[in-house]
Chains A and B, each alone.
Chain A
Amino acid sequence: MTIKLPIYLDNAATTRIDPRVLAKMLPYLENEYGNPASRSHVFGWHAEDAIEHAREQVAQTIGCDSKEIIWTSGATEATNLALKGAANFYQERGKHLITIKTEHKATLDTMRELERIGFEVTYLTPETNGLIDIEKLIKAIRPDTILISVMFVNNEIGVIQDIAAIGNLCQSRNIIFHVDAVQAVGKIEFSLKDIYVDLMSLSGHKVYGPKGIGALYVRRKPRVRLMPQIHGGGHERGFRSGTLPTHQIVGMGEAFSLAKQEMPQELPRIKQLRDKLLEGLQDIEEVYINGDMEHRIVHNLNISFNYVEGESLMMAIKDIAVSSGSACTSASLEPSYVLRALGRNDELAHSSIRFSLGRFNTSEEIDYTINLLKTKIAKLRELSPLWEMFKEGVDLNNYQWQSHGERDIILHN
């Protein structure tokens, strides 16, 4: 069997839209073009029906009431609304917020902005396996703590935080609890009927739905209040103004519904693929798994290949689409802040690869990936002076490296 290249193993970045989702969306880009806010004619009524149906689908998937779902342009906006909206509303109670160093930038950058306007934020360091120690979280709580934000599943290393335990803690301390659940929907079974969460950010495109659509769950009993961040028309019960994109919403609703329906068959299948990938790559010497393997979604494998530099590895495996924690692949020239927060050294952060598997990956693709990596890692290690030194038994950590310092760099133009 021939394999279609390149192979997509970057499903934590985004997913291919499911054809069944696309089929549901298309009518709303063709004949059903009404504005769901138009109350005076059938075009508007049809669009509104579609939106309420999708709202019900999302609510059923996460186990809440459809009235608790607010549509947004994506999870980044949902997180902005949750954190800024709650912080601003509850600031009379206190101005202290808590989050984790390994959160998504949507949370971290929003927290930075809140710091700028006078809030105080504690950024907890997770344990070396990526999980947070609830005792340390308890110690970080102050009398003026009004909000805690913790992601359900980490986007880089796939570890699952104990949201139920943190939820109980927040409920007992009367602290607003926000959860970024972008990487959790369709990947782990959970229901808001069983866990206590006040605000939850959701995304369409990580679950085989369209980009540009997300939602925020806002608890109604007891009611969580937010200051709206976008004004202009009072849509979504005043929480978020702006004409609703019917086709996107229909897509997200269908995608969530499918995710719930497919999970029982999909998770074991993807786990098999991931375990096969892990087994294949573990044959290679000097590989390190990043993040806990037990409390982890079955879709994710984050692995560092010691003595191989990340960018050259990415160049070597350009037929497979993956992400790297290497500085060279990011705009910031810093290696992954998530791996750094776990205490991984720079070299291992530089040489890390995130494989994120999804609904459309096949066993043949995993075979191809394992073979390609084995060949390319061997080739790059043949090139690597560090590998040679490691093999000669040199202690690389205590070696005196001679790095180039203060020399003038002559630009070539």
Chain B
Amino acid sequence: MSYSNKVLDHYENPKNVGSLDKNDPNVGTGMVGAPACGDVMKLQIKVDASGVIEDARFKTYGCGSAIASSSLVTEWLKGKTLDQAQQIKNSQIADELELPPVKIHCSVLAEDAIKAAIIDYKNKH
């Protein structure tokens, strides 16, 4: 498997690993994927009073590009409004990380995780 240096960087030094309190009303949690498929992503966002994402955390079970995709989106999410976050497309993730075609599904999963986290946050409000 030949990964880009960007994937390897995120894999070696993942950003924003960890968990936020899922019961905090300001935290939205998205969990997508399934162990049987080899990928599970948990993405959490913390949204401030003005509707801007102030923090993002992830934990991912999956291959190197799944870990890199989730690490990358936590970086992108910080400082974005929920509307802006909603606009992030898997193709942008795949482009940024130069994912090989067989790994595109990792970027799809990351986009799904963002949307799931936003829905969870909105359900609380």
Contacts and interface: CB of A to CB of B under 8 A. Distances in A.
Given A388-B19, A404-B109, A411-B91, A315 B38 contact: no
Contact of B35 (A327, A346, A402, A410): A346
B19 A311 contact: no
A309 interface: yes
Interface string B1-43: 1000000000100100101000000000001111111111110
Interface string A306-338: 011111100100000000001111000100000
Q: Which of A307, A327, A383, A396 has the most CB of B within 10 A?
A: A383
For the side of the interface on B, what is the size category? 35 or more
Interface residues of A, number: 33
Contact of B61 (A345, A346, A384, A410): A384
B55 to A, nearest CB: 17
B74 interface: no
A217 to B, nearest CB: 39
Contacts of A410: 89-91
A385 B42 contact: yes
Given A385-B42, A410-B91, A412-B94, A312 B11 contact: yes
Contacts, number: 101
Nearest to B109: A404
Interface of A: 307-312, 315, 326-329, 333, 345-347, 350, 382-388, 396, 401-404, 407, 409-412
Interface of B: 1, 11, 14, 17, 19, 31-42, 59-64, 66-67, 89-91, 94-95, 99, 101-102, 104-105, 107-109, 112, 116
25 contacts: A308-B61, A309-B38, A309-B63, A310-B38, A312-B11, A312-B66, A328-B63, A333-B102, A346-B36, A383-B59, A383-B60, A384-B61, A388-B42, A401-B35, A402-B33, A403-B33, A404-B32, A404-B33, A404-B112, A407-B108, A409-B108, A411-B94, A412-B91, A412-B94, A412-B99
